[in-house]
């Protein structure tokens, strides 16, 4: 493998689903179901401000009196943790592990370029052979 730095932009999913912070949890759940995604980015005035995952929706059912009518801004994770498209996937894996998150949007300024999930990383790492993984991890130690 010639290059040991694997940038996020090479592996991110580019079609990112967004919802408005004023949308209901029910509308958002339906959007996620129809689009077959496990997370959506929440926007206000076309700026990314949070993220909603399936887990967030499930966890919202108990605490709210009318959970499906509540707005996503009430349950979104914020501030929005995001990554740059040139970041190394190794660094991203470390961020996900240390912060216990499974989905990271790729953002520059206010533009959402993509999203990377821990599942994407598992697939990627499973495709590499042992020598490639050793090279990648050793190169990260020396940066």
Confidence check: pLDDT of 88 > 60: yes
Confidence check: pLDDT of 2 > 60: no
CATH superfamily, domain at 8-141: CBS-domain (3.10.580.10)
The pLDDT tens digits of the residues spanning 96-127 come to: 989 999 999 999 999 999 999 998 888 887 77
| pTM for this prediction | 0.83
Q: State the pairing for strand pair 103-108/47-53.
A: unpaired
Q: Which residue has the higher pLDDT, 62 or 49?
A: 49
Give me the percent of the chain exceeding a pLDDT of 70: 85
């Amino acid at each position: 493998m010639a290059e040991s730095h694997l940038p996020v932009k090479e592996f991110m999913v580019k079609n990112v689903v967004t919802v408005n912070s004023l949308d209901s949890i029910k509308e958002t759940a339906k959007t996620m179901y129809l689009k077959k995604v496990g997370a959506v980015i929440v926007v206000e005035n076309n700026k990314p401000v949070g993220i909603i995952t399936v887990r967030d929706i499930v966890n919202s059912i108990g605490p709210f009196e009318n959970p499906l009518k509540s707005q996503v801004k009430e349950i979104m994770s914020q501030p929005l943790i995001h990554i740059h498209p040139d970041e190394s996937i190794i660094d991203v894996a470390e961020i996900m592990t240390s912060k216990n998150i499974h989905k990271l949007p790729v953002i520059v300024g206010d533009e959402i370029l993509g999203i990377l999930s821990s599942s994407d990383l598992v697939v990627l790492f499973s495709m590499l052979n042992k020598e490639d993984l050793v090279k990648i991890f050793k190169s990260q130690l020396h940066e």
